[in-house]
Amino acid sequence: MTPRERSARWTGLGLALAGAVGLGVFWGQHLTISQATPNPTTDALSLAFSQVAQNARPSVVNIRAAGPSLARGMGGATGSGFVIDRDGHVVTNLHVVQNAARLTVRLADGTQLPARFVAGDAETDLAVLKLVGRISVPPLAFGDSDALRVGEWVVAIGSPFGLDQTVTTGVISAKDRVTDRRNNLQQFLQTDAAINFGNSGGPLLNLAGEVIGVNTQIASRDGSYSGIGFALPSITVREVARQLIERGQVSRSLLGVQVDRVTPQFARIYGLPDEQGALIQYVEEGGAAYAAGLRSGDVVVAYANRRITSERDLIRELAATPGDTTVEVRYFRNGKPAAVTLRTEERTSSAIQTMRPRFERRGGPSSDASPEEPETTLRRLGLNVSDASPLKLMQLGVKDIYTGQAGALITEVSPVGLAAENGLQEGMLITAVNRRPVRTADDFLGALAALRPGDDLVLAVSRPLGRAPQGERRAVTNFFSFTLP
């Protein structure tokens, strides 16, 4: 699939989504290891990288999205994500999954599971999925991205170009990077760890194995890896994911102000102790800030007991605070400190949904749901069946052609359904479901009626192989297996 690509200009470079860019090699400029003379320091660093990768990889997943508006192939059929709790919730980028009609997740051991789209937040380009199936995947823990220092080592894991479980390393190159001035909610960690086609949504980890970012963008002139990647900080990811799971959308606070940085000139003229804080340029009448007495020219230096060093800090704190929350704001006015307690307004983001073609399910049943009507399961599989005529059985090379009861003939396959994704085609003959023989379409529907979402499904399917040397048609049996969504 081809994900929705964004572009922006930053220091003369074009920005490309990590789901649609190339990954390069970083290692040589940072570390040279002499094989002749072992170095305890580099050996310890190498061991630390290896340990992080070993512990984290079972929790990192490959995400395959299918839909009518998504092209298959290297251009965006896959992305990355990681499990964040024991309930099977997965964090990824919204641009990886937004237009998907069906989502399939592949685990580190090769297990493939369907996933349900929970919700997404366009302002941070984050989304949460939920694995469907009876399987336990260890979650990754979030670290404190605010505590990161420039120069710290980090590890990225993802699926560049569809290559699952690829590990790259680098350092934190900078913090609080804003790549799109129209969206101050995306304040990125910059890293030189290689980020690529399919890396979008994957974790950036510290050497303690904690998630400190979600890999999202790169800076590049031509779409190839150029040593500059951007990850959304964990302090943002953790709060957005929590609200998406609990509320299905993100609630953010509003003060009704426009803010800017404090310049050295302003600090000197207005008698500020330093250049830190968020300068209020405009106060909207009737808003929370205006009602509390804040005015143009005030400089906010603390919000809800958190220090504000720049206008970006205040924007981020407002985004992390649910609306209708009582907070204390400390500020300077004409060089004198003051404080006020106010109740924020609420700004709720729109719920993001995915597109669903007619074959696809619209609900999100859990793995312990009740059996469904077989017609519903058929739609979710993305196929239709009928009894096979004797002529059709003869064409398929099936020997039992006289009764016309040798299986369920596939008569229609959705191009974006689970059946098509796993190789099933129109004209194939289903002869068994989970080892249960199928001789008619009704047999097939009856077998489906006993299954639940999250159950394994193995189909024995007969397909024509060609003619034998004596001229008679031959059929071969293949097996197709997947998990029901």
Active-site amino acid positions = 95, 125, 200
- For residues 78 and 159, the answer to whether their CB atoms sit within 8 Å is yes
Displacement of CA 193 from its chain's centroid (Å)? 19
Spatial separation of the C-alpha atoms in residues 433 and 242, rounded to whole Å: 39
HEC secondary structure over 111-169 = CEEEEEEEEEECCCCEEEEEECCCCCCCCCCECCHHHCCCCCEEEEEECHHHCCCEEEE
- For residues 295 and 338, the answer to whether their CB atoms sit within 8 Å is no
